[in-house]
Structure 1
Amino acid sequence: MAQSTRSRARSAFWWVLLAVLVVLAGLFAVFREPLRGYAGISTAYSARVACSCRFVAGRSLGDCAKDKLAGMELVTLVDDEAARSVTARFPLIASTTATYREGYGCVLETWDS
């Protein structure tokens, strides 16, 4: 009797897990384009601000990360001292690099349409 109850509970768990995955996949399909847009804008903004902070103001990247706006917690920053650039990444969706150019400040890389 206990084995039957346990197997029913295990079966119910897998059905619930499958339903959650289907709902998440549907939400991703519906909101994919807006999410990509917001991620692209977030990484561009973060890369540009962090690059200016790092290579114009001379602050550390850790200190520059504090300048990110609320809601940009998933955006990560990586600097390249040799190239004088900062890359901002939103996991699995977007990545943007800003490079310091003498006389111009920090310039974003060209976006692909």
Structure 2
Amino acid sequence: MDLRYLITAVILAVLIGMVLQPTRQIVSDAEVGARAVAKTACSCVFIARRSLEACRKDDPPGFDMVRAHLDREEKAVKASVFWIIRAEAVYQGATGCAMD
């Protein structure tokens, strides 16, 4: 094997690793954000009996990128980040809201 190909392969592997690690962290953060919005909005709407809009005003900075949708029939709040990362919390009566 030519040494140039080996060096190129090692450099390419390191560059791919440098790109994938931050991407994994971003996806993980987006999942946490979607789950947090779904759970807190569900509790806020179905337990505190506030509107979804009023509940979203209490979100911490950065959570505005998470979209939330209220489903009154299913008693659920569905949240997503860029329509890819999704989470859902469902109101279950006396036990409150739980992640689905």
Structure 2 unaligned segments of length 5 or more: list them.
Answer: 1-17
- Whether 1:51 aligns to 2:39 is no
CA distance 1:59–1:28, change in 2 (3 Å): farther
User: Which of these residues, 89, 94, 99, is aligned with residue 90 of structure 2?
Assistant: 99
Structure 1 partner of 2:64:
73
Structure 2 partner of 1:34:
25
CA distance 1:30–1:93, change in 2 (3 Å): farther
Look up the equivalent residue of 2:46 and give its one-letter code: F
Greater RCO (Cα-Cα under 8 Å, separation 6 or more): 2
Q: How does 1:85-96 map to 2 (within 5 A)?
A: 85-96=76-87
State the TM-score, normalized to the length of structure 2. Answer: 0.76
Report if the CA contact (8 A) 1:39-1:93 is conserved: no
Q: CA deviation at 1:93?
A: 3.5
Structure 1 segments, 4+ long, off by >3 Å, are 27-30
Aligned-residue CA RMSD (Å): 1.8
Q: CA deviation at 1:28?
A: 6.3
Output the CA distance in 2 between the equivalents of 1:95 and 1:101: 20
Structure 1 partner of 2:99:
108
Structure 1 unaligned segments of length 5 or more: list them.
Answer: 1-26
The percent of aligned pairs where both chains have the same amino acid is 29
Larger Rg: 1
